[in-house]
Amino acid sequence: MDRGTIEKRLNDQKDLLTNLISKAKSNGMEQVEIYSSYGYSEDVSLEKNDLNNCTATEENMFGIRVVHEGNQGFLISNHIPSLYTSIEEAYQLAKSQSTPDVDLVLPEARTITNHFDTYDTTLDFMGIEDLVGYAKEALGWRSDLYDKVNIDSGDFSLSKGYKLIVSSKGVMAHELGAELSASVMGMGVDGDLVGSFDYDSASGFTKDQFQSLWKKAFHEFGNKCMGALYAKPTSGFQGKVLLPPDAVYSFFLGLFIGSLNGTSLRKGKSKMAGKLGEKVASTLLSIWDDPTNKAYMGSTGFDREGMPTSKKNVLTDGVLESYFYNTYEAKKAGLKESNGSATGGAQSLPGCGPKQLQIAPGSSSKDEFFKLPGKTLFVNRISGTKDGASGDFSGVVKGGYLLEAGEKIPVREVQIVGNAFDALHQIEAISKEGELLGESSFVPYMLLDGFTITGVTED
């Protein structure tokens, strides 16, 4: 499967979907949208420290949405010959509903100014044999450097495809892409001693980019697994927590970002409702969403509804500047149109959310965080419960370290509780350095204060 073949399929499909929508309109269906997601991938998997399987898959999914008099019908299909029948069925679903909403409409077409094409044709000269080579290389790294790390599972993938959206409102947008990616999951094992599991991944537009990022990701995975293997219990304390980039969103910022979702705001489930223009976080924290940066994986010129994306300031010096709206939620909020924040794909209705969150770096060196006086808990990840509405979270720290007197001591059975919205004000420092998570979101290290850490002491 090469670029030329995929482009021909895309062009043929644009014509097909345009004709199907014209036919639907001629039969009284005024609001029809079809979102197509096509992907071809070759994959090599790992299991239990060995090669497991090689596969090639091809899939084309269609999300068909029909709106009729304020009601909506939605169907998913992967069968091209019966797409028009699916349109009719979605129309009947919409007609059968009895709770119309005047704000439920398909958006009018808008001009898309950012056009993305991340398909590097050199990837057309790669295949299963290259993925097998990467897999064997990773197994070699494990054997030579991390022989006590058990790789439970892993995957190496070369994927190509496109996304396409066409609607009766004049929306027509598409993007091609190709990438190499890999992931690994496992844990340290030494006899009867088993550490907590960990995970890492990498992806790239080009072979060189992927190889560099994957090597770094695998070694970080190995080091984290080994660090967690010989962890010891520790006593509890009141104080600081240090979050590496991987933990920043999973620890507390993810709950905050979820509260900016237009649906949560409308349903009264967000603590951030009515707070635009207000200071809701430390002045150290600035966040923006920028899907238009062409250097990042996942960047896109349009959202799930075919609306143009743009850079949006979310927090500036702790002041809340924007929410995330699709067309429906924007209208419910009294706005004229969405802000290009519809999320999802062919298998879901449009949601609301960011695409490429970035966090502004701070002024501190991350190395300073590891030399602080007293005790600091380094949180690799947390396994527990979270409540999106209240922001409360609690759980057990996995792969964590106690930082004390310049030492980095792996710890286990440490529990922590907190509140995501309170944590926004507990940020004490942000590092100048950071990491590009998923090759799409820059995230620095964060030091937070005022947490209660519960531990245990061995007899």
Closest CA to 221 of 195, 245, 187, 182: 187
Q: What is the mean pLDDT of residues 207-218?
A: 96
pLDDT at 456 over 80: no
Indicate the pLDDT class of residue 227, thresholds 50, 70 and 90.
Answer: confident
Go through the domains of the chain in sequence order and give each one's CATH number: 3-226 (3.30.2290.10), 231-459 (no CATH)
Q: Decide: 342 and 326 in contact? Cβ < 8 Å.
A: yes
Q: What is the mean pLDDT of residues 31-42?
A: 98
pTM of the model: 0.92
Distance CA 44, CA 9 (A): 26
Closest CA to 307 of 273, 267, 336: 336
pLDDT at 74 over 60: yes
Distance CA 258, CA 254 (A): 6
Indicate the pLDDT class of residue 228, thresholds 50, 70 and 90.
Answer: confident
Q: What is the mean pLDDT of residues 208-217?
A: 96
Tens digits of residue pLDDT in 128-149: 999 999 999 999 999 999 999 9
Q: What is the mean pLDDT of residues 239-256?
A: 93
Tens digits of residue pLDDT in 397-424: 988 899 998 888 899 889 999 999 999 9
pLDDT at 229 over 90: no
More confident call, 456 vs 366: 366
For 195-226, b/e burial (b = at least 16 CB within 10 A) is bbbbbbbbbbbebebbbebbeebbebbbebbb
pLDDT at 72 over 70: yes
Closest CA to 448 of 361, 382, 376: 376
More confident call, 231 vs 58: 58
Distance CA 432, CA 447 (A): 12
More confident call, 383 vs 89: 89
Distance CA 25, CA 39 (A): 29
Indicate the pLDDT class of residue 459, thresholds 50, 70 and 90.
Answer: very low
Residue 3 corresponds to which tokens in the numbers above? 């670029």
Tens digits of residue pLDDT in 369-384: 999 999 999 998 888 8
Residue 414 corresponds to which tokens in the numbers above? 């440490």
Least confident of 92-101, 147-156, 438-447: 438-447
